């Protein structure tokens, strides 16, 4: 993996200019490290070319649930407003060692726990494609900051969809890696068996470059798995002819608009033109994934994590967070056990399917980003992660990427999922799609 030769200082200055221009409207950033980033860029530019890292000068921000030594990690909660990190997260060290410029911390849904990023304490994040709409969550600031060109890549986190939903709503590529592939040490999470960290960027190639740097075993993370990381960059540009993609119309097409259906059908046609075989499959009772993961396991784990603090400082939690935690507190042991048995069976079923196909393709979200004024309608909020829970429950990697635009000019998105630790294959398929389409090259009107 060869470093790119370009000016880190120029890239950093451009990102800071865009933050100054667009962040007052979008509110994507909680912390901006302007002086620190410029000094870092100058140091990188002084290095001889042969000493530069694989991410030389790439401007990256961290979702503000990830530690950067000397910087506050808030998780968008007033409770953590003075929580200065003493050490770098594993992922922060990896980025810095590879030559990245970390420009700051992005806004998010409070406690990494919601799909809208309408923060009670740090203000709502707005969507650069239409500021009257939400950017998705919980990594909403990550998605909005990349779309508004405040950075090249942002590192987000995903428990049930929090990387892929903001990617979908902001017209980006976003990778949820396999559980255990990228260390979560030094980050605030929700449910350890399902939490992951991963990159969001405009291009799959940028996402793949960052993935290659941050993936790897970390003994400090109990969920980390000691397994070799294949070179995803070496296969990125290889032909996908002969690959097999599975697809299920049932259930997915019951919940999406005709224009999203058309975009998905067009994407399947693109893959056919590249020599990929499309295989019709049926995933069985996959419609239960959101109930089992989103409404049981994650809620119960989150309640246990916050139980004591919630009792001591209830007013420091947003109303929506209190509501979700209260539901988690009412779940019984049998409820949790039943959900775990379903997840185990689903993972086993899916592992068998992935011996027949290289990847699965589906819509990322069933709806367009809702208007912020409509957020009191719980139906829309419940709909947002309906599809992303499916592969999160299985712990397998999945990649969201843009596949079209709605009549209103909002991004449409599809998701590619692969077998556990099969990130290289879905990155290859995603990159192949982007090589023959231009959806990822479009810019929001705000920054056009």
By annotation, the residues acting in catalysis are: 63, 138, 162
Range list of β-strands (E), 190-324: 196-201, 244-247, 277-280
What does DSSP assign to residue 155?
Answer: E
The string of DSSP codes covering 276-300 is PEEEE---SSGGGHIIIIIIIIHHH
Alpha-carbon distance 122 to 118, whole Å? 9
Produce one character per residue of 292-310: b if its CB has 16 or more CB atoms within 10 Å, e if not. bbbbbbbbbbbbebbeeeb
Cα maximum dimension of the chain? 61
Of 24, 113, 22, the C-alpha closest to 63 is 113
> How many alpha carbons fall within 13 Å on the CB side of residue 186?
24
- What percent of the residues of the chain are helix, what percent strand, and what percent coil, each to the nearest 5? 45, 15, 40
Exposure class string for 218-256: b at 16+ Cβ within 10 A, else e: beebebbeeeebeebbeebeeebeebebbbbeebbbeeb
Count how many residues are written for the chain.
448
The answer for 63, left when phi > 0, alpha when psi is -120 to 50, beta otherwise, is: beta
Measure the CA–CA gap between 323 and 292, rounded to whole angstroms.
18
* Upper half-sphere CA count for residue 446 (Cβ side, 13 Å): 25
Q: Is the peptide bond before 138 cis (omega within 30 degrees of 0)?
A: yes
């Amino acid at each position: 993996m060869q470093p790119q030769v370009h000016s880190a200082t120029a890239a950093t200055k451009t990102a800071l200019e865009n933050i100054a221009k667009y962040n007052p409207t979008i509110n994507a950033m909680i912390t901006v490290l302007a002086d620190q980033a410029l000094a870092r860029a100058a140091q990188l530019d002084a290095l001889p070319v042969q000493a530069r890292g694989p991410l030389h000068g790439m401007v990256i921000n961290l979702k503000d649930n990830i530690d950067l030594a000397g910087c506050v990690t808030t998780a968008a909660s007033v409770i953590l407003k003075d929580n200065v990190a003493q050490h770098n997260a594993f992922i922060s060290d990896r980025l810095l060692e590879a030559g990245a410029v970390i420009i700051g911390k992005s806004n998010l849904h409070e406690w990494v726990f919601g799909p809208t990023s309408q923060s009670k304490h740090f203000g709502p994040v707005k969507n650069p494609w239409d500021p009257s709409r939400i950017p998705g969550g919980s990594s909403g600031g990550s998605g909005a900051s990349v779309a508004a060109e405040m950075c090249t890549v942002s590192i987000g986190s995903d428990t049930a969809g929090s990387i892929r939903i903001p990617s979908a709503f902001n017209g980006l590529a976003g990778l949820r890696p396999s559980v255990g592939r990228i260390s979560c040490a030094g980050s605030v999470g929700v449910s350890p068996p399902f939490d992951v960290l991963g990159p969001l960027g405009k291009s799959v190639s940028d996402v793949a470059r960052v993935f290659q740097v941050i993936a790897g075993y970390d003994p400090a993370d109990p969920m980390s798995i000691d397994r070799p990381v294949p070179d995803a960059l070496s296969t990125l540009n290889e032909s996908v002819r002969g690959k097999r993609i599975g697809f299920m119309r049932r259930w997915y097409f019951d919940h999406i608009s005709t224009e999203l259906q058309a975009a998905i059908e067009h994407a399947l046609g693109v893959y056919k033109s590249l020599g990929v075989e499309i295989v019709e499959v049926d995933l069985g009772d996959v419609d239960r994934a959101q109930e089992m993961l989103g409404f049981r396991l994650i809620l119960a784990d989150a309640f246990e994590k916050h139980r004591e603090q919630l009792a001591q400082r209830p007013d420091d939690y947003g109303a929506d967070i209190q509501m979700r935690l209260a539901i988690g507190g009412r779940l019984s042991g049998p409820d949790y056990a039943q959900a775990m048995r379903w997840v185990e069976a689903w993972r086993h079923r899916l592992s068998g399917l992935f011996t027949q196909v290289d990847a699965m393709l589906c819509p990322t979200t069933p709806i367009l980003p809702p208007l912020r004024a409509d957020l009191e309608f719980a139906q829309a909020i419940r709909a947002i992660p309906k599809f992303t829970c499916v592969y999160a429950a299985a712990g397998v990697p999945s990649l969201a990427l843009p596949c079209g635009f709605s009549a209103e000019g909002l991004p449409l998105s599809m998701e590619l999922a692969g077998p556990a630790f099969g990130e290289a294959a879905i990155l290859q398929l995603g990159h192949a799609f982007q090589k023959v389409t231009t959806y990822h090259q479009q810019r929001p009107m705000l920054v056009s």
